Structure 1
Amino acid sequence: MTDTLPAATGTRVPAQRRPAHDSGPASGKPAPPGRLRSSRPDLLLCGGLLVTIMLVQGWNISDYPTLSDDEGTYLAQAWAVQQGEGLAHYTYWYDHPPLGWIQIAVLTWIPALLSPESMTVGAMRGVMLVVSAVSAILVYVIARRLSLPCWAAGLAMILFGLSPLSVVLQREIFLDNLAVMWTLLAFALAASPNRHLWHHFGAGIAAATAVLTKETMLLVLPAVLVTMWRHSHQDTRKFAVTGAVTACALIGFSYPLFALLKGELLPGAGHVSLWEGIQYQLTRPGSGFILDEGSGSYGVLQSWLYYDRVLPLGGLAGALLLLVTWRWSVTARSLAGPALTVAILAVLALRPTGYLPAMYVIQALPFLALVLAGGAASVAHAVLRRWRTEAEKRGVTLGRYALAGVLVLAAGAYVVPRWYDGDRTAVTADANAPYEAAAEWMASEVENPEDTRVLVDDALWLDLVHAGYEPGLGVIWFYKADLDPAVTETMPGGWRDIDYVVASPTVRRDAVDLPNVKAAMNHSAPVAVFGTGADRIEIRRIQPSGAAR
C-alpha cells in the first residue's frame, strides 16, 4: 500500500496550519480516509472483497473469453524481450510504446523460466490476476481518499472487480489493464492524505508510466492534475503540481528520445518511424458514430452492454449527477477527478469520425465504478437526511438502517441476477477448446516441424514456436506472407512455399485482402477441423497441384 511508505522524504505542512482532516493517529483523532493500515474495518472489507474478486476472475481464466489477436501480439513481444533477440513475429513500428510488453515480460519471466512451454496466451493469463488485484485495491484506496464512506468504497471495488464486463476484459493480456493500474496509482498518490511532495512527484511518474504503457492514457492526465490540485496543500500546491508535471514530461520524452537515438523519429528510407506511427493512430479510419446502428462503434457498444449494462450506464449517470451537483455537493467535489475522466472518455467515444476499439472501455472501468459508488453514496445520504428530517418532525423513531437495507436489497435484486449469468459463463464456459486442440494437433501430427512452414494468427504463434517450428520463417504470422519483404523474399513460389494454414476466424476474415494468404486458402484442403460454425479452426494442408478446395 502506498500509505506504508516512509514519509521522511517529503516536505511536511506545519501542524498548526494543517487542516483538521490531516490529523493522524498521533493526534488521537481517527486516521484520514485511505489509511488502510490504521483501519481494521477497511482492511477486513478490502481483503474479503479482494479474495472474492480473485476467485471469480481467476476461475476458468484460460478457457474464457476466446483468445484474441492482441493478446498473442503482446505476449509474443514479451517473449521476444525475454529472449533478447529479434524474434518478434512482426517488426516493431511504434504502434504502441514498448514499455507495456516489457512489463508483461517481467510478469511472465518466472513462469516462463519454470515452464517455457507454458508461455502461451491461455496459460499466461494468470499473471493478469496480479494486475487486477493491485488495481482493485487501488480503487478502494482512491475511494477512501476521496472521502467516500467505507461501504461506498467497497461498492466501488465490487463494481470494478465483479462486473461481467470487468471479469472478461481484465482476464485478457491487454496493455490497457497495465496502464489502468499505473493510472490508478497516479490518482492514489495525487489524493494522498499526507500531502508529501514526493507523493505528487510519484503521481507524475506513475502517470508517465501509464502513458508509456498505453498512449491513450494521455487523455486521463487532466483528471489526475485536477485531483492533485484539489488534494495538495495551498502553500506547496504550485511547487507540487510543477514537480509532478515536470517528472511526467521528462519520463514521457524518453519515448521520442528513444526513437531519435535509433534514427527513427522521422520518416526515411528503409526504416519505420515514430512520426508514422503517430500519424497512423491519428488518421486511421473511424468506426462511425456510436449511436448509429449501422456503425462499427455501435457494435462495440453493444458488445459492452451484452456483458453488463449496470456499470457503463450507471457510471455515466453517476458522473452526470456528480458534475451537475458539483457546486453544492461535497461528494461531487471530492470525485471531480474520476467524474472528469468519465466525461472525457465519453465525449471522445462519441466522436463520429473516431476509431473505437473494443478495449477502450477498460480505461473507464475503475472510474465508472468510483463515480457510480459516489453517486450512490450521494443519493443515499440525501435520502437518509430527508428521512431523518421527516421522522423528527413526526416524532417517529428513525429507521435509517432499515431504509438503507431496503435500498441495498432493491439494488441487489436488480443487479445480482444480471451479473450472475455473465459471471457464471465466465467461470464455466470453454471458448478456447478449438485453439488448444489445433495447437496439440500441429505439435503431434506434423512430421519435422522445424522444416515446415505454416501461417497462423497471433494467438497460436507462440504455441507453435514451443512445438518446434522456427520463429519467423517456419511459423509465420499470416500478415507477413504478404506484407513483410523479409518473408516474401523467402517465398519465390508464393503460396506454394507454404505447407499449412491454420485457418482461425481471424485468418479467414482477413485473408480476402492478402493475396498470398487467400491463394493458400484457396489451394488447400482441411485435414483437421476443431469446433463448429464461425468459430471453428481448420488446419489446411496446401495442395501443390493447385486444385482449389
Structure 2
Amino acid sequence: MGSLVLGIWTQLIGGLTAFGFSLNSGRVLMFLLHLASTALVYGITLRATKRNLPAIIATLVFAFSPLVVALQRRVLLDNIMLVWLLLALFIILGENRTLKHYFMSAVCFGIAVQTKGAALGFLPAFVYIVTNHSSRIHRRFATGHWVALSLFIVSLYPLYAQMKEELFPQGWFLGGDFPHVSLLERLADRGPDTGRFLNIGAGFTESFQEWVNLGNATADPIIIYGGIVCAIFALLMAVDNRPLRPIVAMVLAFIFKLAISGPIFPSDIILGLPFLAACIGIVIGAVANAVGAVAGGSPVRYALATVVAAAMLYPFGIFYSQRTAPYTANQVEGQIEAVRWISENLPEDAVIVTDNYAFVELRRNFQNAHHYWKVDTDPAVKYAELGDDVCNIDYVLSTPQVVADVATYQLDLMRRAIEQSELLITYPNNGWPVEIRRTNKANCLASIVDSGADGANAG
C-alpha cells in the first residue's frame, strides 16, 4: 500500500523529477504527511482531554522534536503507516460514535497494516478501545465488525503474496523451486542470534542510543525520557479518567510490540512518538489546570495555567533551540554529489550496491544497482543475481546507516563487500559521510586462475 501511495503521488506531481533529485519528491510527500500526523496528534489529544492546552502542548512537542523531524523527513513506510494509524484512532475517539465511524476506522487500520505490518501490533489496543468506548447499544456489533473488516483488509496482503508466489519459502509446497522472498519466512525471521529467547530486543541498545545519545545530532532524550515518565502518570490518571485510556492503551501496545518483536530499528520509534508527545501534553496540561484551579476568577485561572504550562515547557524550548542541526544542516548535498559522481564516472553495466536514498536515482541508468538490504535478505538478489559472491559486486555506495545495519543485523555479504573494497571518494555531508567504494577483485582473479589451472591438470 505504501508503494501505491508513492506511485499515486508521483503521478500527481508529474514524475519523480518534479522537485529535482528523485528523492526530493518523496520528501515533499513526507513533509505533507508530517503536517497530517501533527494535526492528528492535536485532534487525538483534544478528544482525549477535551481541552486545548494539552493538545497544543502535545502538538508543539511532536512538531519540533529533532528526533521526529529527522525521522519524518525520510521516505519511510513508517511515516505513511503512521498517518493511517492515527486516523484510525482519531475516528473512533470522541462522543456520539456511530457504526459508520467504526467501519471507517477499521478500513484505516487495515490500510495501515497493508502499508507496513508493524501496525498489526496495535490490534489489541484498538479492540480494547472499540469495546470499551462504543455505545452499549451496538458494542458487540461494532467490535465484531471492526475486527472482521480490519482483518479482511489485512488478509489481502498474504493473498497478494501467494498470487506472486511469495507466500511460502522456496522448496515448500506451493513455494516453488526458485529463489524468492517469502512472507512466512520474513514473519518468522527473528534477526541475528543474540542468545536470548526468540532474539527478543535485537538491535534495541543501538537504536535506543540513537534516540537519546546527545552525540547524535538528531537524538531527543527529552521526548523519550519525558514521554516515558509522563506515560506513567497518564496511566495513573487513566484509572479515574476514562477518556485517557485510549492513549495509554496505544503506549502500552507500542511498548509490548517492541518487547516481543524481532530486530528493532531506529525508525521503529516513529510509531511511539505521537503517543509519548500526547502523554507529555496530558500531564503538563493537568498540572497547569490543577495550579490554575487554585485561583478564583476565570481570567486569573487561565493566566496562571498558561504561565505554569510555559514554565514546564521551558526545558523543551531551551533544548530544542540548541539542537538546530536537524533543521539547518544540509545532509543532502553530499548525497546528490555522490550520485552525480557515479553517474559521470562509472560504466552503466557496473554492479552497484547502494544505500536506499540513491537506489531509485541510480536504477534509472544502472540496471545492476541493488538496495543493500536486499543483497542479504532477498534470495533472488543474493543467490540468483550475485551468487553470494563479492566478486559479482563492483562498487558500494555506503553511509553510516549501511555500516550500522551491517554490524547490527549481521548482513554477511554486505560485510564482505565492504571489507574487501577500497575507498574511492568520500563526501563529508555535514557529519553523515557518503562513501563510494570499489571492491578488490584481486582474490577473484586468483580464484579464476586457480580454477583454470585445476581444470587443465584434470585434463
In structure 1, C-alpha distance between the alignment counterparts of 2:444 and 2:145, rounded to whole Å: 68
- Please state how far the C-alpha of 1:533 moved relative to its aligned partner: 11
Q: 1:321, 1:220 → 2: CA distance?
A: 21
Matched residue, 2:340: 440
Deviation by residue 1:326-361 (Cα, 9 ceiling, x = unmatched): 333xxx31010111111232244456x953221121
For 2:157 and 2:387, how far apart are their aligned partners in 1?
Answer: 38
1:137 deviates by 1.6
| Deviation, structure 1 residue 381 | 2.7
Q: CA deviation at 1:439?
A: 1.0
Matched, 1:302 2:209: yes
Please name the residue that 2:35 is paired with: 133
Instruction: String of CA shifts for 1:82-136, please: whole Å, max 9, x gaps.
Output: xxxxxxxxxxxxxxxxx22222222233345272794633552111012112212
Report the equivalent of 1:460: 358
1:502 match? 397
The one-letter code matched in structure 2 to 1:502 is L
Q: Alignment RMSD, CA only?
A: 3.7
Q: Counterpart of 2:225? A: 313
1:252 pairs, out of 146, 154, 162, with 154
1:530 equivalent in alignment to 2:427: yes
Q: Which residue of 1 aligns with 2:315?
A: 414
Q: 1:362 aligns with which of 248, 270, 273?
A: 270
Q: Which runs of 5 or more structure 2 residues have no equivalent in the other structure?
A: 446-459
Q: Secondary structure at the match of 2:425?
A: strand
What one-letter code is carried by the residue in structure 2 that aligns with 1:427? Y
Any unmatched runs of 5+ in structure 1? 1-98
Whether the 8 Å contact between 2:54 and 2:282 is mirrored in structure 1 is: yes
Which residue of 229, 232, 249 corresponds with 1:340? 249
- 1:249-298 CA distances to partner (integer Å, 9 max, x unpaired)? 21111122223444443332324432212111x46545989xxxx98423
Identify the residue that residue 327 of structure 1 maps to in structure 2: 239
Match of 1:376 among 264, 284, 307: 284
Distance in structure 2 (CA, Å) of the matches to 1:350 and 1:202: 30
Identity of aligned residues (%): 27
Which residue of 331, 341, 347 corresponds with 1:431?
331
User: Does the residue aligned with 1:335 lie in a helix, a strand or coil?
Assistant: helix
- Partner SS, residue 238 of structure 2: coil
Q: Tell me, what secondary structure is at the counterpart of 1:189?
A: helix
Structure 1 residues 432, 347: CA separation in 2 closer, same or farther (over 3 Å shift)? same
Q: Secondary structure of the residue that 1:430 maps to in structure 2?
A: coil
Distance verdict in 2 for CA 1:355–1:485, change over 3 Å: closer
Q: Paired residue for 2:304, among 403, 412, 415?
A: 403
Contact 2:194–2:202 at 8 Å: present in 1 too? no
**Which of 168, 176, 179 does residue 78 from structure 2 map onto?**
176
Query: 1:499 offset after TM fit, Å?
Result: 4.7
**C-alpha distance in 2 between matches for 1:304 and 1:415:** 16
Q: Provide TM-score, normalisation by structure 1.
A: 0.68
1:239 deviates by 1.7
Deviation at 1:186, TM superposition (A): 0.9
Deviation track 1:283-323 (CA, whole Å, cap 9, x = no partner) reads 6545989xxxx984233223212422332222222222222
2: CA distance, partners of 1:498 / 1:272: 21
116-125 or 134-143, which moves further after superposition? 116-125
Whole-angstrom CA distance in 2 between matches of 1:141 and 1:481: 42
Q: Normalized against structure 2, the TM-score is what?
A: 0.80
